[in-house]
A and B are shown apart, each in its own frame.
Chain A
Amino acid sequence: MGPEVLVLLFGEAVMVFGALGIIRFPDVYTRLHAATKCDTGGAMSIILYLVLTMDAPALVRAKFLVLAFLIAMMNPMVSHAIARAAYRYGVIPKVVVDMYAWDNP
Chain B
Amino acid sequence: MAQESLLVSAFYLLVFTAVLITYRVLRGPTLPDRVVGLNTVTTKVVVIIALVSVMREEYYLIDLAIVLLMVNSVGGLILAKYMERRGRSGT
Contacts and interface: CB of A to CB of B under 8 A. Distances in A.
What bracket does the count of chain B residues touching chain A fall in?
35 or more
Chain B facing A: main interface SS: helix
A56 interface: yes
B40 A91 contact: no
Given A28-B30, A82-B35, A23 B21 contact: yes
Contacts of B69: 67, 70-71, 74
Interface string A4-47: 01001000100110111011000010011001001100110011
A95 interface: no
Contacts of A47: 47, 50
Interface of B: 2-3, 6, 10, 13-14, 17, 20-21, 23-24, 30-33, 35-37, 39-40, 43-44, 46-47, 50-51, 54, 57, 59, 62-63, 65-66, 69-70, 72-73, 76-77, 79-81, 83-84, 86-88, 90-91
Interface of A: 1, 5, 8, 12, 15-16, 18-20, 22-23, 28, 31-32, 35, 38-39, 42-43, 46-47, 50, 53-54, 56, 60, 63-64, 66-67, 70-71, 74-75, 77-79, 81-82, 84-86, 88-91
